[in-house]
Amino acid sequence: MTTYDVSELRQRLASLPRLSLATLPTPLQEAPRLSESLGGPRILIKREDLTGMAMGGNKIREFEYSIAQAVEAKCDVLLHSAAAQSNQSRQTAAVAARLGLRSVIVGRQDSHAQLQGNLLLSHLFGAEINLPPMNEQGDTVKATMQRLRDEGCRPFNTSSDGADYRGIAYVDGFCELYDQLQSMDVTPDAIYVCSGAHTHTGLVVAARALGLPWRVVGVSPSERDDEKAAKQHVELAERHARILDLDVEVTTKDLESYAEFVGEGYGIVTEGSQQALQVTAQTEGLLLDPCYSGKTMAGLMAHIDRGWWTKDHTIVFLHTGGTPALFAYADELGLETPALDGLD
Ligand SMILES: Cc1ncc(COP(=O)(O)O)c(C=O)c1O
């Protein structure tokens, strides 16, 4: 196990293919009214929702490294398949447009398939969009990949292809955050992040490579077994380390993650996430999203309530974006369309 400095990490990152997509560095902002209202720690928000392109979010940073692999392999179609309101589908379509590639989205007929939010934006970016019934989504992806190959295309599935490089982007993101914290003379007690996987694993690899003992606390957006997820994430972290030729050890203890804030399931608003969205909006004028950052903030709020974090602590909350999905969630957020009587 070796300890590296930031410039060594940056040197290794610089040897990899990379696209320029995000507006970096993203801001690191104080959230004093949020801290006060929670009666808790100092909170600094790392604004990965402000990566710039196509309404931002963590994937724009991730795609700088992962879609660089598609360009290297001369792929000409970017495909993505997920929920109808997937952020990654919107970001895939936007990046394809920027690179002059074709984009194909295989969404699904779920409860947020209205032409709003991310789905609306994917249309604007010119994606070919298919929304099969939920139980046909997997087969539709396979058939679509085959059809594209039969047409002579080279499709790149942004979920799986180049996935090990997505976390690499957050080794880079961590270096950026580290510099910002150094210049503010702040040592955080923990970094909170939505733990799909890659943002979390990238941050942890960087923290361990730099020999920093900071906790990186993940909050899962979907139901899962935390222990099993930690094991899978260790393997992903090991793959990031191999790509960067780093001699670091990452254990399941380093990949702390909590699935208990998901509620009924992925993308379903909970009482905690609704409260998190409202408090953050009403104290800081800051938007979270219903599927990812809202639940992560609900996790942080619960941990503050449990006494994990007090006024003596400093927490970095990494905001991974996703706010366009809000526009498809009026009902779940308890908002009703006002009657328009009297208007023509
Ligand atoms: C807003 C938002 N946050 C977090 C994630 C998780 O991303 P990753 O697994 O790449 O860290 C996603 C993507 O699924 C997302 O759209």
Share of the chain above pLDDT 90, in %: 96
Which ligand 1 atom sits closest to the C-alpha of 322? 1
The set of residues, in sequence order, having a beta carbon less than 8 Å from that of 62 and lying 6+ positions away, is 165, 166, 167, 169, 170, 198, 199
Quote the pLDDT of residue 339. 73
Q: Judge whether 267 and 83 are in contact, CB under 8 Å.
A: yes
pTM value is 0.97
The verdict on whether omega for the bond into residue 25 sits within 30 degrees of 0, i.e. cis, is yes
CATH of residue 30: 3.40.50.1100
In a shared domain, residues 255 and 281: yes
The answer as to whether 335 is a domain residue is: no
Structure confidence at residue 342 as a pLDDT band (50, 70, 90): low
Mean pLDDT score across all residues of the chain:
97
3 sits in which H/E element = none
Q: How far is the CA of 152 from the centre of ligand 1 (A)?
A: 31
Q: Tell me the pLDDT tens digit for each residue of 236-246.
A: 999 999 999 99
In a shared domain, residues 51 and 127: no
The answer as to whether 68 is a domain residue is: no
In a shared domain, residues 237 and 111: no
Max CA separation in the chain (angstroms) = 71
Best mutation site among 48, 59, 159 for ligand 1 pocket (most ligand atoms within 8 Å of CB): 59
The answer as to whether 63 is a domain residue is: no
Eight-class DSSP state of 218: E
In a shared domain, residues 148 and 12: no
Best mutation site among 62, 320, 326 for ligand 1 pocket (most ligand atoms within 8 Å of CB): 320
Best mutation site among 233, 292, 326 for ligand 1 pocket (most ligand atoms within 8 Å of CB): 292
The answer as to whether 114 is a domain residue is: yes
Token pair recorded at residue 108: 């699904």
Quote the pLDDT of residue 344. 59
Final residue belonging to a domain, choices 132, 157, 182: 157
In a shared domain, residues 214 and 261: yes
Q: Tell me the pLDDT tens digit for each residue of 3-32.
A: 999 999 999 999 999 999 999 999 999 999
The answer as to whether 38 is a domain residue is: yes
Residue closest by Cα to atom 7 of ligand 1: 196
Judge whether residue 281 has pLDDT over 90.
Answer: yes
In a shared domain, residues 44 and 191: yes
Judge whether residue 274 has pLDDT over 80.
Answer: yes
Which ligand 1 atom sits closest to the C-alpha of 193? 4
Q: Tell me the pLDDT tens digit for each residue of 212-228.
A: 999 999 999 999 999 99
In a shared domain, residues 298 and 279: yes
From the list 206, 234, 253, the residue with the least C-alpha distance to 4 is 206
Which ligand 1 atom sits closest to the C-alpha of 197? 9
What proportions of the chain, in percent to the nearest 5, are helix, strand and coil? 45, 10, 40
Residue closest by Cα to atom 16 of ligand 1: 87
The answer as to whether 182 is a domain residue is: yes
Report the distance separating Cα 333 and Cα 302, nearest Å.
19
In a shared domain, residues 179 and 264: yes
In a shared domain, residues 12 and 152: no
Token pair recorded at residue 68: 């660089």
Q: Tell me the pLDDT tens digit for each residue of 299-329.
A: 999 999 999 999 999 999 999 999 999 999 9
Strands (E), the chain: 28-30, 42-47, 77-81, 102-106, 128-130, 155-157, 190-194, 215-219, 257-258, 314-319
Q: Tell me the pLDDT tens digit for each residue of 148-202.
A: 999 999 999 999 999 999 999 999 999 999 999 999 999 999 999 999 999 999 9
Q: Judge whether 285 and 273 are in contact, CB under 8 Å.
A: no
Judge whether residue 34 has pLDDT over 90.
Answer: yes
Strands (E), 42-161: 42-47, 77-81, 102-106, 128-130, 155-157
Range of the domain at 208: 6-57+164-328
The answer as to whether 195 is a domain residue is: yes
How far lies 261's CA from each of 195, 265, 273, in Å? 12, 9, 8
Quote the pLDDT of residue 336. 77
In a shared domain, residues 169 and 296: yes
Final residue belonging to a domain, choices 157, 178, 208: 157
Which ligand 1 atom sits closest to the C-alpha of 194? 4
Q: Tell me the pLDDT tens digit for each residue of 327-338.
A: 999 999 988 777
Final residue belonging to a domain, choices 91, 123, 157: 157
The domain tally of the chain equals 2
Report the distance separating Cα 121 and Cα 115, nearest Å.
9
**Bridge partners (DSSP) listed for residue 218:** 193, 257
In a shared domain, residues 205 and 287: yes
The answer as to whether 192 is a domain residue is: yes
In a shared domain, residues 250 and 183: yes
Q: In what order do the strands lie in the sheet with 155-157?
A: 128-130, 102-106, 77-81, 155-157
